Amino acid sequence: MQDSKGGAQPVPVPKARQSSRLRWLLASIVAGFIFSRVWLQIQTRDDYTLCSRTTSIYTVDETQPRVQCISVRDGRISAVGDEAGISRNWLLNLLDYPFGANRWRHIQQEHVIVPGLADAHAHLLQQGYKMQLQLDSAKSVQEVIERIKAYIIAHPDVHADRDRWIEGMGWDQTKWPGAEFPTAADLSSDPLLRGRPILLLRVDVHASWVSERVLEILGPLPSEVEGGSIIRDASGEPTGIFVDNAMTLIPTPPWTPEQYNDFFHTAVAEALKFGLTSVHDAATDPDAVQFFKTQAESGKLPIRLYLMVVPFSENFTDWHPSKIERLENYGLHERLNLRAVKLFTDGALGSWGAALITPYSDKPDTRGIMRSSPETMDQLIRSAWQAKLQVNVHCIGDRANEVVLDVFEKVLAEETRNGKLDISSFRPRIEHAQILQPSDLQRIGKLGVIASVQPTHGTSDMWYAETRLGPDRIKGAYAYRTLLEASPQKVLPLGSDFPVEGVNPLLGFYAAVSRLSVDGRSPHGDGGWFPSERLTRAQALKGMTLDAAYASFTEAELGSLTVGKRADFVVLDRDIMEVEASEILKTKVVATVIDGKVAYGHL
């Protein structure tokens, strides 16, 4: 058409066509919006499949012990198997990875994957505390003094304030010439130290070494301390060493909020660096519980914690287990749990505090220290049991283990008579289970009590343990293979007791499978100390994964790379299940993954 001036006239568009175009335009906008949202979600989600070139993923799942790939969706294991099998699930791939989005990753040829490693007995905040002034490699009193001097010089605020407490940890007199306890006078031998309040914890945290200034602050001391000992010289004067319950006499300054934060972040960084995804905190006081709750609530707990609460009264009169607040998958990321108590029966072998049935072979005037009497242990265990809390008891010596097993046996017998026994709902634990009579090595299994052990204690103590215990009693000590075989559930959770030992869980793995020191030695040669008590590598890996999960009631969620469980795993730079034992301690963590997200390293 043309208008009157000869110009072209616009052709009218039918209304139906205009409506169709509008609908198409609106649909395109909506589709584009949806596409962009989906694409953004794809690019930011943490779903992926991780594969090895061979079957280098150790699942600790007896139905599929080794696999090639694991898939992660929403922080959990969604598939386990070989690459071809997972790839064939085209519907899963189409829904999860449309438009060819690449979420397949491969680890390097020599790398392996294992479930997230757990430490079934450790002290997280105390690890950070120890790292401020470490003394565990000091080979003499003089070397300790030199380290304290270096610490003072490196901290001008400490140097300027002679009333500021100096605290450290890790000394071990068994490694020094003469193997004798040090004294407060030793800490006054240098002018830079003289007159300062100094508190140094022994490596096992069962003895304190203090300066003369601290003794002045303490003033008159009691002649005896129930469940503890004040070491005195020939004239009856205190030497500066306080053992077990006597340590509570020392007026140690409480930690500040800044110290809590520093100790926490320092320790967590160490744990993640070495592949730990879970820690059983084996003596958590109420202040520490509150600190951990705050971290969990604000999403600042990058590691899983299973807390064992300690009695917070010396005479236990105001300790009411029924009032303890339970925490189950607590916090923003559901990583905090509390359903256990920790009790102490005796001291440690290195400070002659482990309670023995007969006197020490190298110190016949003592049988060690019972920090809690049999009657008190009976009362404490029963009260926690009635509150339906897991009861975990520190027992080193054969006397301590006998006393606690007697209590457990009586309680379990009463439960049986009442027709309500379910040992799996309580899962009582003996922490350390270090020295037991042959009969008790079997009794702990028959009762279903879990032995929670630390393999590096054996390799640390092996140089003096037989001197302390004698040739017969030593045969029932550090008997890890025997304890595992006696367990009806075939469970032996492994830990380190850090900061008493190193944080790296592979130190414990190596000690468990070799029974050797880190330089390949033992009192029995390069075959290992009492080699019949070695664990296999499969048993050791299970001990620090699935067994630790069972000991904390989390085996349905953690401990193996099984479909439906949380995606906690570790990538290692070599195959700890097959390399020579001497190569195990050279292993480096490539990545520590919690809830499917990298917490340390990279994938």
How many whole angstroms separate alpha carbon 23 and alpha carbon 19? 6
Q: Mean pLDDT over residues 556-583, rounded?
A: 98
Q: Name the percent of the chain in helix, strand, coil, to the closest 5.
A: 40, 20, 40
How many whole angstroms separate alpha carbon 227 and alpha carbon 214? 21
Q: Which residues pair with 114 in a beta bridge?
A: 570
How many whole angstroms separate alpha carbon 455 and alpha carbon 517? 11
How many whole angstroms separate alpha carbon 157 and alpha carbon 200? 19
Identify which of 581, 472, 576 has the alpha carbon closest to the alpha carbon of residue 522.
Answer: 581
How confident is the model at residue 513, as a pLDDT? 98
Question: In sequence order, what are the residues at sequence separation of 6 or more whose Cβ sits closer than 8 angstroms to the Cβ of residue 5?
Answer: none
Q: Is the pLDDT of residue 590 over 50?
A: yes
How confident is the model at residue 183, as a pLDDT? 97
pLDDT tens digits, one per residue of 212-254: 999 999 999 999 999 999 999 999 999 999 999 999 999 999 9
The strand pair at 198-202 and 207-210 is best described as antiparallel
Q: For a pLDDT cut of 70, what percent of the chain falls above it?
A: 89
The CA distances from residue 238 to 62, 182, 562, in Å, are 57, 12, 57
Domain ranges for the chain: 46-109+567-603, 124-249
- Split at pLDDT 50, 70, 90, the class of 422 is confident
Q: Is the pLDDT of residue 8 over 90?
A: no
How confident is the model at residue 417, as a pLDDT? 80
The strand pair at 48-51 and 390-395 is best described as unpaired
How confident is the model at residue 49, as a pLDDT? 95
pLDDT tens digits, one per residue of 424-458: 889 999 999 999 999 999 999 999 999 999 999 99
Q: Which residues pair with 306 in a beta bridge?
A: 280, 337
Q: For a pLDDT cut of 90, what percent of the chain falls above it?
A: 84
Phi, psi for residue 566 in degrees, rounded to 5: -65, 145
Q: Mean pLDDT over residues 127-140, rounded?
A: 95
Mean of the per-residue pLDDT values of the chain: 91
CB contact at 8 A, 543 and 114: no
- Fold that domain 46-109+567-603 belongs to in CATH: Urease, subunit C; domain 1 (2.30.40)
Cis peptide before 499 (omega within 30 of 0): yes
Q: Is the pLDDT of residue 37 over 50?
A: no
Task: Scan for tokens 């175009």, then name that residue.
Answer: 21
- Split at pLDDT 50, 70, 90, the class of 179 is very high
Q: For residue 556, with 0-12 CB atoms within 10 Å meaning exposed, 13-18 middle and 19 or more buried, which class applies?
A: exposed
CB contact at 8 A, 123 and 109: no
Q: Mean pLDDT over residues 243-272, rounded?
A: 96
Identify which of 250, 203, 248 has the alpha carbon closest to the alpha carbon of residue 226.
Answer: 248
CB contact at 8 A, 465 and 506: no
Q: Is the pLDDT of residue 16 over 60?
A: no
Is the four-CA dihedral 466, 469, 470, 474 of positive or negative sign? negative
Q: Is the pLDDT of residue 170 over 80?
A: yes
Side-chain-facing half-sphere of 480: CA atoms under 13 Å = 31
> What is the CATH code for 124-249?
3.10.310.70
Q: Is the pLDDT of residue 315 over 70?
A: no
- Split at pLDDT 50, 70, 90, the class of 496 is very high
CB contact at 8 A, 149 and 168: no
End-to-end CA distance of the chain: 69
Identify which of 578, 518, 576, 586 has the alpha carbon closest to the alpha carbon of residue 117.
Answer: 576
- Split at pLDDT 50, 70, 90, the class of 415 is confident
Give the residue, 272 or 99, on which the prediction is more confident: 272
How confident is the model at residue 17, as a pLDDT? 56
How confident is the model at residue 416, as a pLDDT? 86
How confident is the model at residue 90, as a pLDDT? 46
How many whole angstroms separate alpha carbon 103 and alpha carbon 101? 6
How confident is the model at residue 103, as a pLDDT? 83
How confident is the model at residue 12, as a pLDDT? 57
CB contact at 8 A, 404 and 412: no
How confident is the model at residue 313, as a pLDDT? 53
Give the residue, 37 or 453, on which the prediction is more confident: 453
How confident is the model at residue 311, as a pLDDT? 82
**Both structure tokens of 566:** 């949380």
How many whole angstroms separate alpha carbon 519 and alpha carbon 512? 15
- The 10 Å Cβ neighbour count of residue 84 is 9
Question: In sequence order, what are the residues at sequence separation of 6 or more whose Cβ sits closer than 8 angstroms to the Cβ of residue 314?
Answer: 245, 248
Phi, psi for residue 593 in degrees, rounded to 5: -120, 130
- Split at pLDDT 50, 70, 90, the class of 36 is low
Q: Is the pLDDT of residue 43 over 50?
A: no
The CA distances from residue 54 to 104, 116, 194, 453, in Å, are 15, 20, 62, 33
Is the four-CA dihedral 438, 525, 181, 126 of positive or negative sign? negative
Task: Give the CA radius of gyration of the chain.
Answer: 30
How confident is the model at residue 312, as a pLDDT? 62
Q: Mean pLDDT over residues 347-367, rounded?
A: 96
Can 46-109+567-603 and 124-249 be said to share one CATH topology?
A: no
The CA angle 330-334-338, to the nearest 5 degrees, is 40
How many whole angstroms separate alpha carbon 65 and alpha carbon 577? 12
Identify which of 452, 369, 444 has the alpha carbon closest to the alpha carbon of residue 118.
Answer: 452
Q: Is the pLDDT of residue 477 over 50?
A: yes
- Split at pLDDT 50, 70, 90, the class of 2 is very low
Identify which of 591, 267, 214, 204 has the alpha carbon closest to the alpha carbon of residue 434.
Answer: 204
Q: Is the pLDDT of residue 64 over 60?
A: yes
> Which range among 44-58, 293-307, 442-456, 547-561 shows the weakest confidence by mean pLDDT?
44-58
- Split at pLDDT 50, 70, 90, the class of 41 is very low
How confident is the model at residue 29, as a pLDDT? 67
